[in-house]
Amino acid sequence: MKAYCRHPFDTSLPVTISQGCGPNHTPGGAKDLVFNGIRWGEFSPGVGFVHGTPVYAIESGTVRIVRRNSPHCPDPNNCPQYDNMVLVEDIDGFYTQYGHITPDGPIQEGVSIQIGDCLGFVDNSGVTTGPHVHIGRYEPGDATTWFNRPTCDWVLPVSRGDYQ
Domains of the chain are: 2-162 (2.70.70.10)
pLDDT average, residue stretch 7-19? 53
Report which of residues 66 and 22 the model is more confident about.
66
Nearest to 16 by CA among 5, 25, 8, 26: 5
Q: What is the mean pLDDT of the chain?
A: 68
**pLDDT score of 109:** 97
Which among 148, 152, 112, 163 has a CA at the least distance from the CA of 8? Answer: 163
Tell me, rounded to whole angstroms, the distance of Cα 119 from its chain centroid: 11
* pLDDT for position 16: 46
Query: Nearest Cα to 161, choosing from 11, 6, 7, 24?
Result: 11
Q: Given this model, what pLDDT does residue 111 score?
A: 97
> Of 3-7, 20-24, 43-47, 65-69, which has the strongest mean pLDDT?
65-69
pLDDT of 100 > 90? The answer is no
Contact (Cβ atoms closer than 8 angstroms) between residue 39 and residue 157: no
Taking only the tens place, the pLDDT of each residue in 42-63 is 344 444 456 787 888 988 999 9
pLDDT given at position 36: 38
Residue that wins the pLDDT comparison between 151 and 86: 86
pLDDT tens-digit series, residues 102-130? 999 999 999 999 988 999 998 888 877 67
pLDDT of 150 over the 90 cut: no
